[in-house]
Structure 1
Amino acid sequence: MPRPGPRISALVVARNEQSRLPACLATLAAADEVVVVLDRSTDASAEIARAHGARLLEGGWELEGERRNAGIAACTGDWILEVDADERVPPALWAEIRRVAAASPHAFHRVRIDNYVGDRLILHGWGGSFGTTLKPILFRRGAKRWRGQRVHPGLDWTGTEGERITAQGIRHELDRDISDMLRRLDKYSSAKAADMLAAGRIGSLPDNLRRCVSRWIKCYVGRKGYKEGGWGLLIALCAGLFPLLSHLKARLEPERHRPNPRG
């Protein structure tokens, strides 16, 4: 039976996420449509998506922005909720999403993100391109477009931002442990180095040293990472190191990170 109000598509963009995808898709049953984009996946993700009744789009995209735009274009709902395979949408949040979508005159809304490392909820200290507690992931079809970058691509919007959905949040199983967090830092900084080389702008060492320090202060002090003890210190260090590592990889190892002509 059709649900009252506007149709909502849930969009998941993933690559080889067979261990996380089932739990994610199980929390998207309240959507009117589920679209899964698989980028060069070689595991059982496609079979898992089909088993959950999702529409599947498979392909290969060098840039994160391109693959996400392909997923948005495949959605048919009036509104789109864009989540990652490591995110879970609880029932109470679905009720808030439907309430907002039914009444909103705006183009998009930010949703609260609850970040977990293992079983530990970490509320403070996120930022500096290493984590966020709010994301603009609920939007009208046609309102959102990602830019062509490999990591944390920018966004272009058509329309205005509405109220933030903060009474309920998405459970984001961001990292399994400290080693997983450090692997993410390595992956992100390599992708950012490729973006910098592609743009022909890698910046200077002094500028990126200043960014390293300012991001550490912003996360640990401004975003109250100190309230999380050692975890807040670690997150602030990773956030600070991200631009510095990206610069050093692009500067010292350009042959390892320079994108091919297609990407």
Structure 2
Amino acid sequence: MSAAVADAAKERPRLSALVVARNEEARLAGCLATLRFADEIVVVLDRTTDASARIAAEAGARVIEGAWPVEGDRRNAGLAACTGDWILEVDADERVPEALAAEIRSVIATSRFAWHEIPIENYIGDHLVRHGWGGSFGTSAVPRLSRRGAKRWGRERVHPSLAWTGEKGPRLANALLHHVDRDISDMIRRLDRYSSARAADLIARGEIGTLAGNLRRFVSRFWKCFVARRGYREGAWGFLIALCAGLYPLLAHLKARLEPERHRRGGEAQ
């Protein structure tokens, strides 16, 4: 290797790909196969009992196992384990297409910013649903590419907050593929998990809200997803997403209000 090539390799920013998962043996291998462009792959496994550890090790990933009941804590553990200059966070049900991988490499080589959002294309089964995501039940972009040390997750059980150090850069052009739900039944099960985890957060804060307030949120979130975010363009799929987005805070309130002892023990989104 010439000195010039060696210097160029030394100056090239290192990229860590981070996957945080729990019992995802059915989807983990497919995810990791799309992350081979990264300089290292770190897989954090939370209370995992299936073959995920073996699958991750066979893919060349560094595996960290432990128990983190709070989502923000396990994601922060993953960030701390990464050694790259930049970190790309990917979930087991997501895939990085080649065009996005190339763009990420290009961005981190020249970016002066601390973090970037990545567009996301959401699939329910094999059906691509482009419009209507929102209301904490889905999103059209995710802040997943950041410099090491620029990002910290909050301690919520579901949809943890984010604290940033540094300036946000332009959104990337290519999308991350997200197989968010296998089918409608899977979507309903996710709504149940999310609302239980949210109920636990509400109880822990001592702020469960009111029925009237959450009924208003149901209407506003449904409107936001189905009308403002053009969920109507997806037909019945858009209606279903808007319905779940509206029900999410309402169900969380009702669980915290009517079953406090059950949910005080702590629900989980995964």
2:231 is aligned with 1:218: no
Q: Check if 1:35 corresponds to 2:35.
A: no
Partner amino acid for 1:169? Answer: A
Q: Aligned residue pairs: how many?
A: 259
Supply the distance in 2 between the matched residues of 1:21 and 1:176 (Cα, whole angstroms).
Answer: 15
Matches of residues 192-207 of structure 1 in structure 2 within 5 Å? Answer: 192-207=198-213
Structure 2: stretches of 5+ with no match in the other structure: 1-5
Unaligned 5+ runs, structure 1: none
Question: What residue in structure 2 maps to residue 238 of structure 1?
Answer: 244
What is the root-mean-square deviation of aligned Cα atoms in Å? 1.1
What amino acid sits opposite 1:160 in the alignment? E
Q: Distance in 1 between matches of 2:11 and 2:217?
A: 48
Identity of aligned residues (%): 67
Query: Which residue of 2 is the match for residue 46 of structure 1?
Result: 53
TM-score, reference length from structure 2: 0.94
- Residues 91-121 of structure 1: CA distance to partner in whole angstroms, max 9, x if unpaired? 1101110111111111000001000000011
Contact 1:197–1:259 (CA under 8 A) maintained in structure 2: no
**1:19 alignment partner, SS class:** coil
How far the C-alpha of 1:259 sits from its partner, in A, is 2.8
Q: Which residue of structure 2 lines up, in the alignment, with residue 174 of structure 1?
A: 180
After the TM superposition, which segments of 4 or more aligned residues of structure 1 sit over 3 Å from their partners? Answer: 1-4
| Partner AA of 1:66 in structure 2 | D
Counterpart for residue 111 of structure 1:
118
User: What pairs up with 1:132-147 in 2 under 5 angstroms?
Assistant: 132-147=139-154
- Displacement, 1:3? 8.5
Counterpart of 1:164 in structure 2 is: 171
TM-score when normalising by structure 1: 0.97
- Between the aligned partners of 1:84 and 1:133, the Cα distance in structure 2 is 15
Q: What's the counterpart of residue 89 of structure 1? A: 96
Q: Residue 5 of structure 1: CA displacement?
A: 2.1
Q: What is aligned with 1:152?
A: 159
Give me the whole-angstrom Cα distance separating, in 2, the residues matched to 1:24 and 1:156: 26
> Conserved in 2, the CA contact under 8 Å of 1:198 and 1:259?
no
Which amino acid in 2 is paired with 1:234? L
Code of the residue aligned with 2:78 in structure 1: it is G
**For 1:53-72, what aligned pairs fall within 5 Å after superposition?**
53-72=60-79
* Partner of residue 214, structure 2: 208
Return the offset for 1:4.
Answer: 6.7
Residue 89 of structure 1 aligns with an amino acid whose one-letter code is V
